[in-house]
């Protein structure tokens, strides 16, 4: 697979988001299935693995550590602090002492001496970003972390943080149906030399084409609370998906590969991190880095999905209040 710059690292142009293996979309897969998927991704050339203290309240880091620690020199390891499980509840806490303790716990679970890229998972509105990033910078000086990142923040917050310590990567949702980074963050990342890591590049499974019926999502599937997956909005969005799948068929490629190729074409500093629990879906990612999209194809895709054609906001009001990103 081709590579792209991620701060001081060279990483595969497509990384793997590990969240799905422990968190968010209902029951996680059996342990042996998750282990096979991680090792298959590594063997196929993926060299960026993204996890977080929050995912499965530590169980995802434990999984990644157990499976990939023997291969630690072969990949870039990214994790996140600042949002974690406390007494069974998700808590945003950007206080320096909390971030230091979270990093120590992550190092233990990941079975490593150093985390290559540590993100602030969410900005804590009660703590100045300068204080949180300053504490994370101390972790770099201590040799526990190699580079810093931010997740779900605005261009203005990125600039404030970057003034404290270089920010190697900014991670936010970006796909054909979520275009908010195009407001300001993508350009700011270019100016600062910050990589843009696109999470949910397949629109939480939507652009993969397999999710046709949202009525039977599992009880703990977070998409149940996302407006775009409500029955009325999803019925509209499925019409967009059908047109998108025709574009993929014309290129003789899976829809997921086309979605990733579109993202990669938006800038050399963009690295998508799709996630999956299935090896057959994983295989659909490969080839996106070499799929060249013509100007007419890009124009049709951009006209098909954008803020005025997709039904529903990406988050409900309560979740939107927790993040700092620009919104259309």
Q: State residue 163 phi and psi, 5-degree precision.
A: -70, -20
Residue 119 bears catalytic tag: no
Q: Encoding tokens for residue 226? A: 């996302």
Report the length, in residues, of the chain: 328
Residue with tokens 């945003």: 92
CB atoms within 10 A of CB 105: 15
The CA dihedral of 269, 274, 279, 285, to the nearest 10 degrees, is -40
Q: How far is CA 214 from CA 134, 217, 226, 321, in A?
A: 43, 6, 11, 25
Q: Name the catalytic one among 55, 119, 234, 315.
A: 55
Q: Which residues, listed in sequence order, are joined to residue 11 by a DSSP beta bridge?
A: 4
Which of 132, 136, 63, 75 shows the shortest CA–CA distance to 103? 136
Q: Where are the alpha helices (DSSP H) in 44-201?
A: 59-68, 96-110, 129-141, 155-164, 185-192
Q: State residue 193 phi and psi, 5-degree precision.
A: 75, 25
Contact 56, 22 (CB under 8 A): yes
Question: What's the maximum distance between 2 C-alpha atoms anywhere in the chain?
Answer: 54
Residues with catalytic roles: 55
């Amino acid at each position: 697979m081709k590579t792209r710059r991620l701060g001081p690292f060279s990483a595969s142009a497509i990384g793997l988001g590990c969240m799905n293996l422990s968190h968010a979309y209902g029951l996680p897969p059996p342990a042996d299935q998750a282990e096979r998927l991680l090792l298959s991704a590594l063997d196929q050339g993926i060299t960026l693995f993204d996890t977080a203290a929050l995912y499965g309240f530590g169980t995802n880091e434990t999984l990644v550590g157990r499976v990939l620690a023997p291969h630690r020199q072969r990949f870039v390891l990214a994790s996140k602090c600042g949002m974690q499980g406390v007494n069974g509840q998700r808590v945003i806490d950007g206080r320096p002492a909390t971030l230091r303790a979270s990093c120590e716990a992550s190092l233990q679970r990941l079975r490593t001496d150093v985390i290559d890229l540590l993100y602030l998972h969410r900005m804590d509105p009660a703590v100045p970003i300068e204080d949180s990033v300053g504490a994370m910078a101390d972790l770099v000086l201590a040799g526990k972390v190699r580079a810093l990142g931010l997740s779900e923040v605005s261009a203005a917050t990125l600039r404030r943080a970057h003034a404290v310590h270089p920010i190697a990567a900014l991670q936010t949702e970006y796909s054909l149906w979520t275009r908010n980074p195009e407001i300001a963050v993508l350009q700011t990342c270019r100016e600062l030399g910050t990589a843009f890591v696109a999470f949910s590049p397949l629109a939480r499974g939507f652009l993969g084409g397999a999710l046709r019926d949202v009525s039977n999502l599992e009880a703990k599937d977070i998409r149940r609370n996302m407006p775009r997956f409500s029955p009325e909005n999803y019925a509209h969005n499925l019409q967009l998906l059908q047109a998108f799948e025709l574009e993929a068929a014309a290129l003789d490629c899976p829809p997921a590969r086309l979605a990733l190729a579109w993202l990669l074409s938006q800038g050399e500093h963009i690295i998508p991190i799709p996630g999956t629990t299935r090896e057959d879906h994983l295989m659909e990612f490969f080839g996106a880095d070499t799929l060249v999209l013509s100007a007419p194809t890009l124009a049709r895709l951009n006209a098909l999905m954008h803020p005025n054609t997709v039904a529903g906001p990406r988050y409900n009001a309560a979740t939107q209040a927790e993040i700092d990103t620009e919104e259309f």
